[in-house]
Amino acid sequence: MSDLPDHTVYRPDTLPTDEELPVVAWGSGACRADGTWFENILTEFASHGFLVVANGEPGGSGRTSSDMLTDAVDWAVAENSDPYSKFKGKTDTSEVAVMGQSCGGPETMEVAGDPRIDTTVMWNSGLMSLLDKWTQLPDLHAPIAYFAGGPEDIAYGNAMDDWDRLPAGLPAFMGNLDVGHYGTYAEPNGGEFGRVGVNWLKWQLKDDPAARAEFVGPDCGLCSTEWDVLRKNLT
């Protein structure tokens, strides 16, 4: 995008006329500034009616920063009111998710206190520094989900430690699937991580009752699968 040169935008092939697109800002693993590195899962998200803005230009290089996630949200908000933009009136800027994989997770946490954010998602990630845990976790205000790759995931320990330190009363979900640190991102449509991520976004940003059933209740959709599930304050 010429007015957002350091990002990659994913959207439905045809912009809908009967609904607005919630916004998803994405930070890639390794804090790598390649907005197409996670193309499979991000395309899957967009195909379900989300405007996804990933840090990094297509095929780019270099390193990203947490400010780029804020830039993504700012851009989506501006585009929604720009009379010359194809996204004018097409985005739901009252429904925003911020998420990141591995190194993109700490970037996500740095901006998660932004009051515009309606859900935070950590993919194969957790905070590494105790100082960051003490200063950033208390700022969380919106439902959070961790999707990790089980005990063999290098980020597993950090994610589980975050879990124990989350603010009291914060709605939270932890799902572990034994696929390691690289998840299922390379599979068509992002594989199982893509499926579960779509359902989390549909529940949190579109209030979809079928998607909610994947995470809530004693018979939740993920509860009887290969996922290991932990939950706090989810209703």
pLDDT for residue 1? 52
Per the domain annotation, does 167 fall within a domain? yes
pLDDT for residue 2? 57
Per the domain annotation, does 202 fall within a domain? yes
Query: Other C-beta atoms within 10 Å of 213: how many?
Result: 15
- E strands within the chain? 7-10, 21-27, 51-55, 91-101, 119-123, 144-148, 172-176, 228-232
Range of the domain at 214: 7-232
The whole-angstrom separation of Cα 68 and Cα 220 is: 35
30: phi then psi, degrees, rounded to nearest 5? 60, 10
Per the domain annotation, does 218 fall within a domain? yes
pLDDT for residue 43? 98
Q: What is the CATH number of the domain that holds 177?
A: 3.40.50.1820
Query: What residues does 97 pair with on adjacent strands?
Result: 24, 119
CB 181 within 8 A of CB 153: yes
- List Cα–Cα distances, 206 to 119, 130, 210, 213, in angstroms: 12, 34, 11, 13
Per the domain annotation, does 2 fall within a domain? no
State which residues of the chain have pLDDT below 70. 1-2
Per the domain annotation, does 184 fall within a domain? yes
Say how many domains are in the chain. 1
Instruction: Return the structure tokens found at 153.
Output: 């995931």
Instruction: Return the structure tokens found at 216.
Output: 């809530």
Amino acid, single-letter form, for residue 192: E
Q: What is the end-to-end Cα distance of the chain in Å, rounded?
A: 39
The whole-angstrom separation of Cα 128 and Cα 235 is: 29
pLDDT for residue 90? 97
The single residue listed with the structure tokens 């009752």 is 209
Task: Using only the alpha carbons of the chain, give its radius of gyration.
Answer: 16
DSSP 42-96: HHHHHHTT-EEEEESBTT--SB--THHHHHHHHHHHHHHH-TTSTTTTTEEEEEE
pLDDT for residue 3? 82
The whole-angstrom separation of Cα 120 and Cα 69 is: 12
The whole-angstrom separation of Cα 43 and Cα 189 is: 7
- Of 1, 65, 72, 2, which is closest to residue 28 (Cα–Cα)? 65
